[in-house]
Amino acid sequence: MRTLSSELTKHIGEKVVVKGWLHKKRLLGGLTFLNIRDRGGLVQLVVKDKDEVEKLRGLQLGTVLSVTGTVVAEPRAPGGAELHDAALEVLMPVEAESPIEIDKPISHKPENLDTLFDYRPIGLRNLQEGKIFKIRSELLRYIREFLYKNEFVEINTPKLVAGAAEGGAEVFKLDYFGKEATLAQSPQLYKQMMVGVFERVFEIAPAFRAELSATTRHVSEVTMLDVEMGFIDGHEDIMNFLQDLVYNTLTRVYAEHGDDLKSLQAPELVLKPEFPHYTMATIHEMFTKETGKDTSKEIDLTPEEEKWICAYAKKHDGCEAVFATGLPESKMKFYHMKGENGTARSADLLFRGIEISTVPQREHRPDVLIAQMKAAGVDPEASGFAAYVSAFKHGLPAHGGFGFGIDRLTEKTIGLANVKEAILFPRDINRLAP
């Protein structure tokens, strides 16, 4: 029977078997201290026996070990207990020296990121690095649980599609048995069609964009949450739903993983259940007044304004998530619904200095939709769009939804500098492996 590091204090005085990786070795006052890593954390061993110490000589970090020893309470040890009289058995020897010092903080400086990603499977053995992806896994769980509670049906839509949903240029193309296929940039069309069936649907899946830019923001494969819901009264319903989802998810991850977030130097969470709303025009006006830089002609918020309004709302409203409303029509996609006075029925959600999601109502009237498609240069009768248009002709209620990147959410939750740090094996213009 194997005992996990996390269960050690339940076995004080008992002889147990621990299995894991050699994580750290040090000599102190004639004793050898070892840390063994398992999925629960670290176990500290104290080795006195000369034969056992001899075995340790030359053992590389990463060596897979089984250790038998007696559990002794020790407040200074990780987890509050350590193993004495430890007898070691090597389960899997390691000859290669670790390319990364896994027991020391790993640099995330821009110049070190390539090394970080090249040695991902080794670097993640560093406990701090691993936490990033445990938190990511938890974010996914919390989001799904919130959606299930709200009667959403999970769907899986195809990633091999006949046309580009958003009509964009940045699509990956491939030969599909002699036809041209593209990799889905989003499940947009599919999730809207499914509103006619289940009213409320979601999907968490990869999405692909052939991003030519090599920046901290551009990756060619992301993990997207996509949500769509029918029978709304306006895009405010969607805004409120997204607000509740984000509030629930973030407060929960801070409540349940506060220590890990703190150790990762994540900023404190400053959030209220109701996020403040500012119109785009107001933000331009306030920003211009404050900084002297005139942004009144901008269609969108500038990156600087995104940062500014989040900081402003954090300070003045006690909430670092904020909605920008009154988005201009010119920001619309063909499947969005127009609002009044040149606005779209839509809003942007900003969090910690960046837009994380857009929450539009969709255009559900088939005649208006078809006109908007044509105006956007999208052929409503093309094979990638025929079923989409047909779903509207057979009755879709007022609906809306949103999508956001799980990578981006993880990055912003933890306070990482680059979205790629929140992706296990990031893909960009220069990186296709590992």
- Residues 156-175 interacting with a second copy (rule: CB under 8 A): 156-162, 172-175
DSSP code, position 363? -
Residues 6+ apart with CB under 8 A from 67: 17, 18, 19, 36, 43, 45, 83, 86, 87, 88, 89
- Residues 340-359 interacting with a second copy (rule: CB under 8 A): none
Minimum Å distance from CB 373 to a second copy? 15
- From the list 197-205, 297-305, 345-353, 412-420, the region that binds a second copy by CB under 8 A is 197-205
Minimum Å distance from CB 148 to a second copy? 6
- From the list 24-32, 59-67, 234-242, 256-264, the region that binds a second copy by CB under 8 A is 59-67
Helix, strand, coil shares of the chain, percent, nearest 5, are 35, 25, 40
- Residues 77-96 interacting with a second copy (rule: CB under 8 A): 91-92, 94-96
DSSP code, position 328? B
- Among residues 257, 284, 362, 364, the one that binds a second copy under rule CB under 8 A: 364
Q: How far is CA 395 from CA 151, 336, 389, 391, in A?
A: 21, 17, 10, 7
Minimum Å distance from CB 430 to a second copy? 8
Looking at the Cβ atoms of 129 and 306, the one nearer to a second copy is 129
144 touches a second copy (CB under 8 A): yes
Per DSSP, helices labelled H in 203-345 are 235-256, 258-263, 280-291, 303-317
User: Beta strands 277-279 and 321-325: pairing type?
Assistant: parallel
The phi-psi region of residue 422 (left if phi > 0; otherwise alpha if psi is between -120 and 50; otherwise beta) is alpha
Looking at the Cβ atoms of 173 and 262, the one nearer to a second copy is 173
251 to 280: interface string for a second copy, x by CB under 8 A = ------------------------------
Minimum Å distance from CB 245 to a second copy? 17
- From the list 179-187, 235-243, 343-351, 354-362, the region that binds a second copy by CB under 8 A is 179-187
Hey, what are 142's tokens? 């919390």
141 touches a second copy (CB under 8 A): yes
8 Å CB contact between 346 and 336: yes
